[in-house]
Structure 1
């Protein structure tokens, strides 16, 4: 009997990328609308990608077995 294949969670695959060291890169929240009340500094800092916290990394790797 063949072993079942692991499926990638497509919602997660669209939102995360893996860095060279194996960490997960994510985009930051609060960047899409109602930007007028946010300061320029705050918006500028939201541009840069963040990393997934190490407490959530195990869960995310389970959703993304082939990354």
Structure 2
């Protein structure tokens, strides 16, 4: 049986937590931050977990993560 290939684009964007969940980054934190409030920027710092509806597909493209 050949090895499965990891989707490299996804591997760069997602990390695994200690409990096995997947962390992701939020959008809208790259540029044009001057017009965003401090509260918005503070909330964008937190890394949310991947939604449960997407986990099955994520595990498929990230078999060794």
TM-score, length-scaled by structure 2? 0.94
Question: Which protein has the bigger strand share?
Answer: 1
Following TM superposition, the consecutive aligned residue runs of length 4 or more in structure 1 with deviations greater than 2 angstroms are none
1:56 equivalenced with 2:50 (yes/no)? no
- CA root-mean-square deviation: 0.7
1:8 equivalenced with 2:6 (yes/no)? yes
Tell me how many residue pairs correspond in the alignment. Answer: 65
Which residues of structure 1 form unaligned runs of 5+? Answer: none
Which residues of structure 2 form unaligned runs of 5+? Answer: none
TM-score, length-scaled by structure 1? 0.92
